[in-house]
Copies of this chain bind each other. A is one copy, B any other.
């Protein structure tokens, strides 16, 4: 499924995993492993024949396979005949059905992809971590309902995205430990043909082949296909893993709109073909755009969940062909882009400060409220009086501390002293509560994750145009 679309956004490594060649290579490895296991279980397969298959396993002629498929109208049968013809034997696929091959190979590709995604999530976490440390003491206006609310720190913002990423990473690791391999179970999941071939020695075979898969979670009972709710959990996990990136990207766009930050911009780059001055958060927009694609792929897979007729059919095939590889390629692009944006982000401290100075007298309102409550005013009354006072102050258009003091003291009794007020306005960082210590907690957590996976800290994505 290497396409213009996916080549544009996905990494070389992920494209490699989902290439036709890689699939065919793994199918052949599986067929060879089956022959060896069958041979150990007593089926007569000449050792020389297995060697012949081994020697040809890397010769992948996509055109020849396509030609066979157009005649046989069956894709796996075409690959069987191609491999047989290369090796000059007919020993592969004995006792197997097509899905014995494809279901297992797909799951192996999924597992390989999940490993890669895990690396990238942790690499993103690492990049977030660097930014948290850098920004954890920079006060900035926090917004709820997109309007100024209280004070937080810029690092705290990154820590929230990191924390979301960590929760999803826990799910990923659990899933990776839990994912089963369907195994070699035949056309309707009963292993009937393999039993007919091998009799009671079928158990030798199964032990042998399960060590090839290297997975202990073999299904106890499956039909021709494994349940598509497993695919669903996999792809839903990818959506979950991309959520922090999407949140990050949306907020980069919002902060860029306020002039607080900007994506990296190279000298040769063009922002707009019409407007020469433009520098746009277009990679963040790309993340959001790819996230919409990812959710669409999930919806494709969702259509297959719980919809299996009898022992199975191919009403899931084209869907999975599009959506599984598609999801991995897209989430790969999202994560690489998020890492790239995080690392390249330029901050405008001046813009951040200006906004804070402008909004502080108003958004310190809950601080005033706590002060009044501690002075013995009842909470709901103080809330009401402050609301009116601050709205009046805002409407007046004034920005002097004097006027603010005036309006605050006019409305409530007991009131805030001028000194108290000045002290609040002079030290916005004191209004950021636990922001900094929360940053520390998250950074500590990130360190544990980064330590687990080699290469996560040093990974640098190549994000195309």
Contact = CB atoms under 8 A, between A and B. Distances in A.
Q: Which 10 A-B pairs have the closest CB atoms?
A: A246-B306, A296-B300, A192-B433, A97-B274, A145-B280, A3-B3, A190-B433, A229-B243, A276-B386, A292-B303
Contacts of A197: 370, 373-374
Category for how many chain A residues contact B: 35 or more
Contact of A233 (B71, B202, B236, B307): B236
B72 A253 contact: no
B276 A192 contact: no
B289 A72 contact: no
Contacts of A2: 3-4
A17 interface: no
Interface in A314-370: 314-319, 321-323, 350, 362-363, 365-370
A76 interface: yes
A400 interface: no
Contacts of A270: 72-74, 77, 383, 387
A290 B254 CA distance: 22
Interface stretch (A50-58, A114-122, A159-167, A451-459): A159-167
A232 interface: yes
A210 interface: no
Given A232-B243, A319-B292, A221 B160 contact: yes
A80 to B, nearest CB: 6
A26 interface: no
B277 A70 contact: no
A209 interface: no
A245 B307 CA distance: 10
A39 interface: no
Nearest to A228: B243
A59 interface: no
A178 interface: yes
Contacts of A236: 232-233, 236, 240
A159 B277 contact: no
Number of this chain's copies in the complex:
4
A275 B187 contact: yes
6 contacts: A1-B3, A97-B273, A98-B272, A152-B189, A247-B307, A295-B305
Nearest to A368: B276
A137 interface: no
Contacts of A310: 142-144, 146, 251, 254
A129 interface: no
Nearest to A291: B306
B250 A309 contact: yes
B196 A367 contact: yes
Interface string A57-74: 000000000000111111
A13 B446 CA distance: 41
A77 to B, nearest CB: 5
Contact of A391 (B279, B378, B391): B279
A211 interface: no
A293 interface: yes
Nearest to A424: B196
Contact of A438 (B147, B164, B190, B367): B190
A421 interface: no
Contacts of A300: 292-293, 295-296
Contacts of A315: 253, 285-286, 288-289
